[in-house]
Structure 1
């Protein structure tokens, strides 16, 4: 699993290293594993600005600006909170992109409505956020490893379709020569 995360981190690096664009993380259940994976490759400091481990609702509200009423009505383990965490991380960390995780990794903490293994992942930029819901319970350690890898892969997929085109990739206009 660690080797896979390093490969995913290198792929993220290929998109961001020379782009001038930045990423940060807002993690609840993964507790910094996403950030740890991103910085596993040399040079990550050019594009990874930091992460917020928002393990409690209090931190989700105070540092990421997640609405208290949303947390009360839907709990922290929902798609809307994951999206709010991305928006909050973009603002708090002053980054172009953010990756977020919130869920119940286990072994306890699940409910009939939100069983153990339910994890919401989100990533995006200010204009577009995508989400993914994980629902299988393989035990705490494997749940967190899977969530981390899935979050990194989801971010790579997001970058593939949402990365701004670099100027040097655009063809220069042809200027006719007149005599």
Structure 2
């Protein structure tokens, strides 16, 4: 379970929190794979290591604007998503010690109302529904195959309807002959 979010954070801690959360819930990569992704996307070819990713996710390093663009690209999110103030944070602590209220920095209408845990839960539920829909589609495929088989049988019978009609007519004629007493001899049908 994720640690509780403090009511006051620095922007560096917020960005770190968002990078870690998005990496775990979005790209679902470990830090080593994520470091490799950063290396391939970084035009300056800096040495991104597990240690550097870990420091970034703990808020132990300052982020340049290039870093923010690089992390956003690697996570497939806009840069603004990295700076989104998490639910529960009421103020931002500045380097000079001043606490700036959340409302002064972020319009409450632009922030999702639901905590990230809820969004993850909804995402998992959606995936469960997709899996169930795929299972249903497979079942319907089997049923569809059975229906197609029945259609082919019906078409075959429809094609043979003249033969069936002829056999039925012959059988009726023979039954009537038998009732009249002039049934054909065995083997002459």
Bigger radius of gyration among the two = 2
The normalised TM-score by structure 2 is 0.27
Q: Which has the higher helix share?
A: 2
Q: What's the TM-score once normalised by structure 1's chain length? A: 0.28
